[in-house]
Amino acid sequence: MRDKDSKCCIVAEIGINHSGSLPVALKMIDAAKTAGCDFVKFQKRTIDVVYTKEDLDRPRVSSWGTTNREQKLGLEFEKEEYDIIDVHCKNRGINWFASPWDVQSVNFLTQYDCPFIKIASASTTDFDLLQAVRNTKKSVILSTGMSTEEEVKKAVDFLGDQVKYILACTSTYPTKIKEMNLKFIQTLQKEYPDIEVGFSNHHPGILFAATSVVFGAKMVEFHITLDRAMYGSDQAASIEVPGVLKLVRYIRDLEVAIGSGSWIVFNSEEEIKKKLRR
């Protein structure tokens, strides 16, 4: 059963917000560590596997060239960058992991001592990928965005005890307030009492990510950015560093403020009680 007293894990997703720049990624890692986040997360793709040739060959003007292929390759980190990221995270004292989008990327990530493999919402029904993840025997975080109850159940049944966290999630970037559905956290808690339930945030504000802890979230994941005006499709759903600093503080304060729910007269109230009661 879940530990009601355990602290919420806070995950700053860098994803592809680094725009292919290793120095930017390292700055984001440092910012997440300074804010007090527990993990940073990336995304890993094998471009020729995840996308079709037709899609990769279509025109797309970017700083990397004139095709979609050049843009996708420009955003992707390979072993040289991840080796540096791995060392940097160890030196800074923060763990990292990633969402693999294909089997080759799952195998790529096994060369690192990552604590989790994250199954992105887009991959919930990709059983070739799920099989590769199951073969790693690594702990799994599973997002539920755009997934039916049956789809999530099949993935959980397939991965078994490897699933350590299930995240309530809406896969829109940014998510509208009316689609946040924070009470879904409690629905998942009832459905999966032996698995920790968390919240994957795609809103640029900090209110809902922080409030998710009140609904019982034991992991809060959000996109981090140095500047929401930077290049990238996820920037609009991301939180800048000053907001991350506030968000982490709010989460930790809320964990304390939630309390036990017990009927208590606090010791600090006793003197006031003596003065005011008749």
pLDDT at 1: 42
Indicate whether 1 belongs to any domain.
no
pLDDT in tens, 189-218: 999 999 999 999 999 999 999 999 999 999
Which letter, b or e, does each residue of 209-224 get, where b requires 16 or more Cβ atoms within 10 Å of its Cβ? bbbbbebbbbbbbbbb
Indicate whether 216 belongs to any domain.
yes
Average pLDDT of the chain?
Answer: 96
Q: Is residue 44 scored above 60 in pLDDT? A: yes
Instruction: Give the pLDDT mean for 172-183.
Output: 97
Indicate whether 269 belongs to any domain.
yes
Cα separation of the two ends of the chain:
46
Indicate whether 140 belongs to any domain.
yes
Q: Which residue matches tokens 């809406």? A: 170
**Cα(261)–Cα(114) distance, integer angstroms:** 36
**Confidence class for position 233, pLDDT limits 50, 70, 90:** confident
Structure tokens at 19: 């725009």
pLDDT at 5: 63
Structure tokens at 75: 């955003």
Domain at 44, CATH number: 3.20.20.70
Indicate whether 104 belongs to any domain.
yes
**Confidence class for position 34, pLDDT limits 50, 70, 90:** very high
Q: Is residue 157 scored above 80 in pLDDT? A: yes
Structural domains in the chain (count): 1
Q: Is residue 248 scored above 60 in pLDDT? A: yes
**Cα(75)–Cα(143) distance, integer angstroms:** 23
Indicate whether 2 belongs to any domain.
no
Instruction: Give the pLDDT mean for 1-28.
Output: 89
Indicate whether 195 belongs to any domain.
yes
Which residues are bridge partners to 139 per DSSP?
Answer: 116
pLDDT in tens, 77-105: 999 999 999 999 999 999 999 999 999 99
Higher-pLDDT residue of 4 and 25 is 25
Q: Which residue range(s) make up the domain with 48?
A: 9-276
Which ranges constitute the DSSP H helices of the chain? 22-35, 47-50, 53-57, 68-75, 79-92, 103-109, 127-136, 149-159, 184-191, 207-211, 241-258, 267-276
- DSSP secondary structure string for all residues of 87-138: HHHHHHT-EEEEEE-SHHHHHHHTTS--SEEEE-GGGTT-HHHHHHHHHHT-
Asked whether 185 and 217 are in contact (CB, 8 A), the reply is yes
pLDDT at 3: 58
Length of the chain: 278
pTM for the model stands at: 0.94
Indicate whether 3 belongs to any domain.
no
**Cα(275)–Cα(174) distance, integer angstroms:** 52
Is 163 exposed, middle or buried, given 0-12, 13-18 or 19+ CB atoms closer than 10 A? buried
